Amino acid sequence: MSLSSKALLEALRSVVDPVAGTPVVPALKESDITLSGTGATVRVEPGYVTSPAVRASLTEQLQAAARQAGAQQLTLQFSDTVKAHAVQSGLKPIASVKNIIAVASGKGGVGKSTTSANLAIALAQSGARVGILDADIYGPSQPLIMGVSGKPVSNDGKTMEPLRAHGITVNSIGFLIDADSPAIWRGPMVTQALEQLLRQTNWPDLDYLIIDMPPGTGDIALTLAQKVPVVGAIIVTTPQDIALLDARKGLRMFEKMNIPILGVVENMAMHICSHCGHAEAIFGEDGGKHMARELNVPWLGALPLAKSIREQTDAGTPTVASDPNSEAAGLYRELARRVAVAVAALPKDMAGRFPSVVVENLKK
């Protein structure tokens, strides 16, 4: 059977990422395929960074599909380039940050900050360049969670250098005020402080910047959603009805701002006993999954309520960093992969591809 680039293209496009549940190479084109007799060389650009283990798994699946299309030999050339994606209309992306992801919840106490930290570290462990910005001005928790302290320095008197922990860059109002000093500020001051943290931090070139958003859907969260150039939002909730009620409001707020919903994460979905390993859904079961299905948004997964996660977080060593081989760390890595795949599927940022048009009034 002669090898056809069209048949090979269709076969490779049919391969689905086993974790994300979406095609591995949806944007593959015939121009990415070079035929050579009964073999082929294919340029694969998933749009996210693939770890060696993920790449080996995807390679096996793609080669199996290629054999069914008649290819006796398939050489894959992976490109792990993460592209910049479109943000809200009227806003400009930050030059050194390709993709800003907002992690939000309708209410506090659902583990949003813990999820943000582990998500950021998991993305970094995959090989991506990642930062995290603690946007909860009233209750910054990332300094404690990330186990980092000190004040950002300024090398030019205009911008501040972010701190580093667990392979990612971090900034927070918590680095700039005393740990026991409350931020007694009104809304406009809070949003101004956040914008300064975002835009006056000397972020290195980042593939992803995770924004740990303040809880709720009040004026502050709404203003941030309007002013921070994000590519998408993640909603963190717990399974019980009272949390889901507020999570819906948070989700709807982002939709009104025309910000894509990358998906819903159900935290504290199952309590795991540290003594016997018994699992019990003390907060209810599958509430976040049902909400995602009802509102037609992606379901990113469920995370357990485990004593170890709390202890590791309080110690400044989040689970993915301190216990990478644990089941919980694996769940966070799956979450990170689903998020990376979801971002890769978003519309690309086209603003930088076109030159600025300047209209001059030339006098004769």
> 192 with 72, same domain?
no
39 carries a ligand binding annotation: no
> 48 with 127, same domain?
no
Q: In this structure, how many other beta carbons lie within 10 angstroms of the beta carbon of residue 108?
A: 15
Residue of higher predicted confidence among 254 and 182:
254
Least confident of 16-20, 224-228, 245-249, 303-307: 16-20
108 carries a ligand binding annotation: yes
Residue of higher predicted confidence among 193 and 11:
11
37 carries a ligand binding annotation: no
What pairs with residue 180 in β-bridges? none
Res. 353: pLDDT tops 60: no
State the pLDDT confidence band at 185, using cuts at 50, 70 and 90.
low
153 carries a ligand binding annotation: no
Q: Is residue 356 assigned to a domain?
A: no
> 60 with 138, same domain?
no
25 carries a ligand binding annotation: no
113 carries a ligand binding annotation: yes
* Domain encompassing residue 130: 100-344
Residue ending a domain, choose from 47, 78, 109: 78
Count of domains forming the chain: 2
Res. 355: pLDDT tops 60: no
> 112 with 216, same domain?
yes
pLDDT tens by residue, 273-313: 777 777 777 777 778 888 899 999 999 999 998 889 999 99
- Per-residue pLDDT, 215: 81
Residue of higher predicted confidence among 210 and 71:
210
Res. 87: pLDDT tops 60: yes
Least confident of 174-183, 226-235, 246-255, 324-333: 174-183
- Per-residue pLDDT, 166: 97
Q: Is residue 203 assigned to a domain?
A: yes
Q: What is the mean pLDDT of residues 125-145?
A: 92
First to last CA, the chain: 69
Q: Is residue 92 assigned to a domain?
A: no
pLDDT tens by residue, 186-208: 667 777 888 889 999 999 999 99
109 carries a ligand binding annotation: yes
> 111 with 17, same domain?
no
At 38, which CATH number? 3.30.300.130
> 330 with 282, same domain?
yes
> 67 with 116, same domain?
no
> 73 with 145, same domain?
no
Res. 182: pLDDT tops 60: yes
> 297 with 162, same domain?
yes
Residue of higher predicted confidence among 211 and 80:
211
pLDDT tens by residue, 29-57: 888 999 988 889 999 888 899 888 888 88
Residue ending a domain, choose from 17, 46, 78: 78
Q: Is residue 349 assigned to a domain?
A: no
State the pLDDT confidence band at 214, using cuts at 50, 70 and 90.
confident
363 carries a ligand binding annotation: no
Residue of higher predicted confidence among 94 and 108:
94
> 140 with 40, same domain?
no
> 247 with 122, same domain?
yes
> 259 with 337, same domain?
yes
Residue of higher predicted confidence among 234 and 70:
234
